[in-house]
Amino acid sequence: MTCQTCHMPKIEDPIKIANGYVSLLGRTPFNLHTFAGANSFMVQLIKDNKISLGVTAPDKNFDSTLKANTTLLREQTLDLVSTYDSAVGDTAYFNISLLNKAGHKFPSGYPSRRAVLQFIVLKANGDTLFSSGIFDSNFEVANIDTILEPHHDIINSSSRTQVYEMVMGDVNGDRTTVLERAADQLKDNRLPPLGFTTLHPVYDTCKIVGDAEFDSDFNKISGIEGSGADIVHYHVPLDGYIGDLTVYANVYYQTLPPAFLSEMQQFSSAEIDTF
Q: Are residues 61 and 97 in the same domain?
A: no
Residue 156 sits in the same domain as residue 233: yes
Q: Kindly state whether residues 13 and 107 are assigned to the same domain.
A: no
Instruction: Answer whether 162's CB lies under 8 Å from 151's CB.
Output: yes
Determine the pLDDT at residue 181. Answer: 94
Q: What does the pLDDT read at residue 63? A: 96
pLDDT of residue 249: 98
Out of 76, 97, 132, a domain closes at: 76
Looking at the domain assignment, is residue 250 inside a domain? yes
- Say if 275 falls within a structural domain: no
Give the pLDDT mean for 45-63: 95
Residue 172 lies in a domain: yes
Residues 91 and 171 in one domain: yes
Paired strand residues for 253:
115
Q: Are residues 197 and 154 in the same domain?
A: yes
Check whether residue 2 and residue 18 sit in a common domain. yes
Q: Within 10 Å of residue 46's Cβ, how many Cβ atoms?
A: 13
Phi, psi of 231 (to 5 degrees): -120, 125
How would residue 12 be classed by pLDDT, with cut points 50, 70 and 90?
A: confident
Number of domains into which the chain is organized:
3
Predicted local distance difference test score (pLDDT) of residue 123: 97
* pLDDT surpasses 80 at 26: yes
Q: pLDDT of 246-274, one tens digit each?
A: 999 999 999 999 888 888 888 999 988 88
Q: Is 42 helix (H, G, I), strand (E, B) or coil?
A: helix
Asked if the model's pLDDT at residue 107 lies above 90, the reply is: yes
Burial zone of 226 (CB within 10 Å; 0-12 exposed, 13-18 middle, 19+ buried): middle
CA–CA separation, 230 and 78 (whole Å):
11
> Residues 48, 154: one domain?
no
Give the pLDDT score at 34.
Answer: 78
Pairwise CA distance, residues 248 & 119, whole Å:
6
Spatial separation of the C-alpha atoms in residues 8 and 11, rounded to whole Å: 10
Residue 59 has pLDDT above 90, yes or no: yes
Using the CB atoms, write b or e for 160-189: b if 16+ within 10 Å. bbbbbbbbbbeeeeeebbeeeebeebbbbb
Residues 6+ apart with CB under 8 A from 177: 111, 112, 168, 260, 261, 262, 263, 264
pLDDT digits (tens, 9 = 90+) for 78-102: 999 999 999 999 999 999 999 999 9
Render pLDDT for 218-250 as a digit per residue (tens, 0 to 9): 999 999 999 999 999 999 999 999 999 999 999
More confident residue, 66 or 147: 66
Mean pLDDT, rounded, for 33-47: 91
Residues 111 and 217 in one domain: yes
- Whether 185 and 65 map to the same domain: the answer is no
**270 located within any domain:** no
Question: In the prediction, which pLDDT does 165 show?
Answer: 97
pTM given for the model:
0.92
Which domain-ending residue is among 50, 76, 102? 76
What pLDDT score was predicted for residue 184?
94
272: in domain: no
- Percent of the chain clearing pLDDT 70 (strictly above): 100
The Cα 207–Cα 190 span in angstroms is 10
Give the side-chain half-sphere CA count within 13 A for 155.
26
Q: Is the same domain home to 209 and 126?
A: yes
Do 62 and 186 fall into the same domain? no
CA distance 176 to 181: 7
Q: How confident is the model at residue 2 (pLDDT cuts 50, 70, 90)?
A: confident
CA atoms within 13 A on the CB side of 131: 12
- The pairing of strands 166-169 and 175-176 is antiparallel
The per-residue pLDDT of the chain, averaged, comes to 94
Sign of the dihedral defined by the CA atoms of residues 185, 189, 190, 191, in that order: positive
Confidence of residue 176 (pLDDT cuts 50, 70, 90): very high
Listed residues 23, 55, 76: the one ending a domain: 76
Q: What is the pLDDT of residue 261?
A: 85
pLDDT at 121: 98
For residue 256, give the amino acid letter. Answer: L
Shared domain check, 148 and 107: yes
236 bridge partner residues: 92
Q: Is 271 part of a structural domain of the chain?
A: no
In a domain, 231, yes or no: yes
* 274 inside domain: no
User: Is the pLDDT at 74 greater than 80, yes or no?
Assistant: yes
- Cα separation, 271 vs 36, in Å, equals 27
Domain assignment of residue 46, given as a range: 40-76
